[in-house]
């Protein structure tokens, strides 16, 4: 696994200094993942993947080596490069069930990594896909639903900038209620990105436990010292 310095994880950048989705360890054994912020993220906020995008009635085509690596939606009007490193699934119609990873995109065509070439060509009559962006992140939403948390920011990251978020190790989380030392915490506060106490009766299907509290926050909407363990 990649090794990074404690200084590196405390800095955000307007340009990517590592691969998006790259996982690394700091000398203290903490685990971090490199992300791009789709909106401004504050220190102590939980981040989650950006909204999935559904694309209907797509077709596919092959490169010069007969690999099916192009997925096209006519007149899509996409921003060039906007879907780079997105993951996708053919979730309906011809070719259903195939997963892929996007290398780049034009205004109307997704260009797949060759390793993820489709084995079954798509048909514009009925093939639909959904794209997800695991490492393009937003603040956790105001909801009690599980949210696939990616990690917790330990430095502010401006919208469109890049930085490391903590997945495992000691750090801070902004909590919307007073956490309890040694008890778990999860998303679900009434403020985006903040956490609340885990509920004893809830299970893995109902909430994502993000770790446990080491030192409780002094008051609501303040930072608690926590051990992060995002699974």
> At which residue do the structure tokens 């405390």 appear?
10
What secondary structure, in 3-state letters, does 148-177 show?
CCCEEECCCECCCCEEEEEEEEEEEEEECC
Q: What is the pLDDT of residue 207?
A: 81
Residues in contact with 154: Cβ distance below 8 Å, sequence separation at least 6, in sequence order: 9, 10, 43, 44, 164, 165, 166, 171, 172
Distance CA 23, CA 81 (A): 22
Nearest alpha-carbon partner for 103 in 114, 91, 112: 112
* pLDDT at 147 (0 to 100): 86
Could you tell me if residue 9 is left (phi over 0), alpha (psi between -120 and 50 degrees) or otherwise beta? alpha
pLDDT of residue 188: 87
Q: Buried b vs exposed e over 52-71: b needs ≥16 C-beta within 10 Å?
A: eeebebbbbeeeeeeebbbb
DSSP character string of 40-106: -B-TT-EEEEEEEEEE-S-EEEE-TTS-EEEEE-TT--PPTTTTTT-EEEEEESTTTT-EEEEEEE-
Q: What are the residue boundaries of the structural domains of the chain, listed by start?
A: 2-50+137-229, 58-126
Q: What's the whole-model pTM score?
A: 0.88
Give the Cα separation of 32 and 162 in Å (integer): 13
Q: What is the structure's pLDDT at 50?
A: 94
Q: What is the predicted pLDDT for the residue at 204?
A: 60
Check if the beta carbon of residue 47 is closer than 8 Å to that of residue 138: yes
Low-confidence ranges of the chain (pLDDT < 70): 201-205
pLDDT of residue 202: 66
pLDDT at position 92: 96
How far is the C-alpha of 91 from the C-alpha of 80, rounded, in Å? 24
Answer yes or no: are the C-beta atoms of 186 and 205 closer than 8 Å: no
């Amino acid at each position: 696994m990649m090794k990074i310095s404690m200084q590196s994880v405390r800095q955000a950048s307007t340009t990517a200094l590592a691969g998006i989705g790259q996982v690394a360890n700091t000398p203290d054994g903490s685990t971090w993942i490199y992300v791009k912020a789709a909106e401004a993220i504050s220190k102590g906020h939980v981040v989650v993947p950006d909204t999935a995008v559904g694309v209907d009635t797509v077709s596919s085509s092959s490169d010069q080596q007969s690999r099916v690596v192009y997925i096209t939606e006519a007149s899509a009007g996409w921003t060039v490069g906007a879907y780079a490193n997105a993951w996708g699934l053919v979730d309906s119609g011809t070719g259903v069930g195939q997963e892929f990873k996007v290398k780049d995109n034009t205004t109307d065509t997704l260009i797949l990594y060759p390793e993820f070439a489709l084995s079954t060509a798509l048909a514009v009559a009925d093939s639909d896909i959904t794209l997800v962006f695991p490492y393009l992140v937003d603040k956790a939403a105001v909801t009690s639903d599980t949210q696939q948390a990616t990690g917790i920011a330990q430095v502010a990251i401006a919208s469109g900038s890049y930085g490391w978020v903590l997945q495992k190790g000691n750090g801070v989380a902004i909590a919307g209620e007073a956490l309890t030392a040694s008890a778990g915490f999860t998303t679900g506060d009434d403020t985006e990105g903040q956490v609340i106490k885990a509920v004893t009766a809830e299970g893995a299907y109902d909430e994502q436990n993000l770790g446990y509290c080491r030192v409780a926050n002094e008051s609501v909407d303040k930072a608690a010292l926590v051990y992060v363990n995002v699974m």
